[in-house]
């Protein structure tokens, strides 16, 4: 991590495959890792000197567990543009100036749509409250290290509220509308490029699939032979063996894996975007990571898959709501996987809906990458784009929602009748006293006989 210590962060893949889409399974000991990273980052004075001499004009900071990087850029006087890779609801997102009310915006890992029942809205509010509690613990951890190394730096929540911009890895075509500051932009799909010709062996494999076509299987870095339960591999291959389609599967085999059926080709790496754009590609089997989902929809390809970690089930819920995908459980048997694939392949509405969303993704005046570059350059050229920041960043929770005003009105409504009653009583006594005095003064004196 530094010139003095060598270390690396290892993703808890076993946990992901066990309970990865449940927020209660998030590792609590991650805070110890965050504390160690903060101490290493902020305690490196040589690094701070080097960065200061480089005269950077803007910093792009991944916000997850990363208030200490914001503290470093604040210390260096560099405006920060955040990056957010997950569903933009909950966690650090709650402390930016974006407004995502729990009544209409489901929080990450709730697996709700934006149309919630009363009980779902109740749970969503409780989930938002729990998220605030977790974030306060995180702020204590990161805030301690920030004040220890940079005593004049603001508290972590202030750093988050003072962002000069935010790049959100999403797109309105597959997400819910939110009230965002003008410097918070959706850049989902910024990695999408113009398709390139396929290697000869892959091109021949796809063309050879004939009218049935090809299914592309890719589940990212989490689908590793040393971690994925063998039962999952057996169930997938069992389902694929029943299909008339060919399956191009991104997977590094191990000696303990069963041999693939004749219609399955396993490769350790594949040019995913180029294959998704191929006319022979009929379906994408995915874990519902945002990058792959946007690439698939950009080329109008419907999906089947199994969410494994974090917000992937939330993404699936939104895709099912739009009629472009079906999900299966991580431990689904071969028959359930086969049935889901056949349904999406044979039901034309899935492809029609995918093509409709593809039109929306293409129908934009600016490519996501160009939009992101514009924002970063604009922040750099305007010394942090203060004209795009909401003044709400200076308000606390009670001020932002007007609770202080409501409290003032409530107290006024409670006290005003009593105040009027006291005033009326005082006036009545005053008038009675004046009347008595006038009567004594105006009464004629009796003459002596």
Q: Is the model's pTM score more than 0.75?
A: yes
- Cα(79)–Cα(163) distance, integer angstroms: 7
Whole-angstrom Cα distance, residue 417 to residue 400? 29
What confidence tens digit (pLDDT) does each residue in 345-370 have?
A: 999 999 999 999 999 999 988 899 99
- pLDDT beneath 70: ranges in the chain: 1-28, 434-435, 437-449
Q: What sign has the CA pseudo-torsion 106, 111, 112, 118?
A: negative
Dist CA 87 CA 168 (whole Å): 9
Residue 221: what pLDDT?
A: 82
Residue holding tokens 């994925």?
Answer: 228
For the stretch 98-150, pLDDT in tens is 988 999 999 988 899 999 999 999 999 999 999 999 999 999 999 999 999 99
Q: Of all residues in the chain, what percent carry a pLDDT higher than 90?
A: 68
Distances (CA, A) of 244 to 212, 288, 342: 6, 24, 10
Q: For residue 310, what pLDDT is reported? A: 82
336 φ/ψ sector (left φ>0, alpha ψ -120 to 50, else beta): alpha
Distance, first Cα to last Cα, the chain: 117
CA distance 362 to 358: 6
The β-bridge relationship of strands 264-267 and 281-286 is unpaired
CA–chain centroid gap for 299, Å, is: 24
3-state secondary structure the chain: CCCCCCCCCCCCHHHHHHHCCCHHHCCCCHHHHHHHHHHHHHCCHHHHHHHHHHCCCCEEEECCCCHHHHHHHHHHCCCEEEEECCCCCCHHHHHCCCECCCCCCCCCCCCCCCCCCHHHHHHHHHHHHHHHHHHHHHHHHHHHHHHHHCCCCCCHHHHHHCCCEEEECCCHHHCCCCECCCCEEECCCCCCCCCCCCCHHHHHHHHCCCCCCEEEECCHHHCCCCCCCHHHHHHHHHHHHCCCCEEEEECCCCCCCCCCCCCEEEECCCCHHHHHCCCCEEEEEECCCHHHHHHHHHCCCCEEECCCCCCHHHHHHHHHHCCCEEECCCCCCHHHHHHHHHHHHHCHHHHHHHHHHHHHHHCCCCCHHHHHHHHHHHHHHCCCCHHHCCHHHHCCHHHHCCHHHHHHHHHHHHHHHHHHHHHHHHHHHHHHHHHHHHHHHHCCCCCCC
Label residue 101 left, alpha or beta by phi (over 0 means left) and psi (-120 to 50 means alpha): beta
- The pLDDT tens digits for 379-408 are 999 999 999 998 888 888 788 778 889 888
pLDDT of residue 392: 81
Let me know if domain 13-190+367-389 sits in CATH 3.40.50: yes
Q: Where are the domains of the chain?
A: 13-190+367-389, 200-362, 395-422
Find tokens 């779902």 and name the residue.
Answer: 120
Domain 200-362 matching CATH 3.40.50.2000: the answer reads: yes
At residue 364, the pLDDT reads: 84
The strand pair at 80-84 and 325-327 is best described as: unpaired
**How far apart are alpha carbons 116 and 229 in whole angstroms?**
35
Distance (Å, rounded) from C-alpha 43 to C-alpha 50?
13
Strand pairing report for 325-327 and 59-62? unpaired
């Amino acid at each position: 991590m530094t010139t003095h210590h060598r270390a690396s962060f290892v993703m808890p893949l076993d946990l992901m495959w066990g309970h990865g889409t449940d927020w209660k399974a998030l590792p609590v000991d991650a805070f110890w890792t965050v504390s160690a990273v903060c101490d290493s980052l902020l305690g490196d004075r040589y690094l701070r000197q080097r960065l200061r001499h480089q005269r950077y004009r803007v910093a792009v900071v991944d916000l997850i567990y990363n208030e200490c990087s914001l503290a470093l850029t604040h210390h260096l006087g560099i405006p920060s543009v955040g990056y957010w890779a997950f569903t933009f609801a909950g966690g650090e997102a709650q402390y930016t100036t974006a407004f995502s009310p729990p009544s209409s915006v489901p929080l990450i890992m709730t697996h709700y749509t934006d149309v919630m029942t009363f009980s779902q809205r109740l749970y969503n509010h409780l989930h938002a409250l729990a998220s605030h509690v977790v974030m306060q613990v995180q702020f204590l951890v990161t805030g301690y290290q920030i004040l220890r190394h940079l005593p004049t730096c603001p508290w972590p929540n202030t750093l988050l509220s003072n962002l000069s911009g935010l790049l959100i890895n999403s797109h309105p075509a597959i997400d819910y509308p939110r009230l965002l500051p003008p410097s918070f932009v959706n850049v989902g799909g910024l990695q999408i490029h113009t398709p390139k010709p396929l290697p000869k062996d892959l091109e021949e494999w796809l063309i050879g699939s004939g009218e049935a076509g090809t299914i592309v299987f890719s589940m990212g870095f989490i689908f590793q032979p040393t971690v994925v339960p063998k039962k999952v591999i057996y169930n997938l291959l069992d389902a694929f063996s029943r299909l008339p389609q060919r399956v191009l599967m991104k997977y590094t085999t191990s000696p303990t894996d069963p041999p693939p059926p004749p219609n399955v080709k396993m490769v350790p790496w594949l040019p995913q975007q180029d294959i998704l754009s191929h006319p022979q590609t009929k379906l994408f089997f995915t874990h519902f990571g945002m990058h792959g989902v946007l690439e698939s929809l950009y080329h109008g390809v419907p999906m089947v898959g199994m969410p494994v970690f974090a917000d992937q089930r939330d993404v699936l819920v939104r895709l099912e709501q739009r009629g472009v995908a079906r999900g299966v459980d991580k431990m689904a048997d071969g028959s359930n996987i086969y049935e889901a694939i056949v349904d999406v392949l044979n039901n034309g509405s899935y492809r029609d809906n995918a093509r409709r969303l593809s039109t929306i993704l293409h129908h934009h005046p600016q490519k996501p990458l160009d939009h992101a570059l514009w924002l970063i350059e604009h922040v750099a050229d305007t010394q942090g784009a203060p004209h795009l920041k909401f003044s709400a960043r200076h308000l606390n929770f009670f001020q932002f929602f007007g609770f202080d005003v409501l409290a003032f009105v409530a107290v006024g409504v409670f006290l005003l009748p009593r105040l009027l009653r006291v005033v009326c009583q005082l006036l009545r006594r005053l008038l009675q006293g004046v009347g008595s005095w006038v009567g004594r003064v105006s009464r004629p004196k009796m003459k002596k006989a």
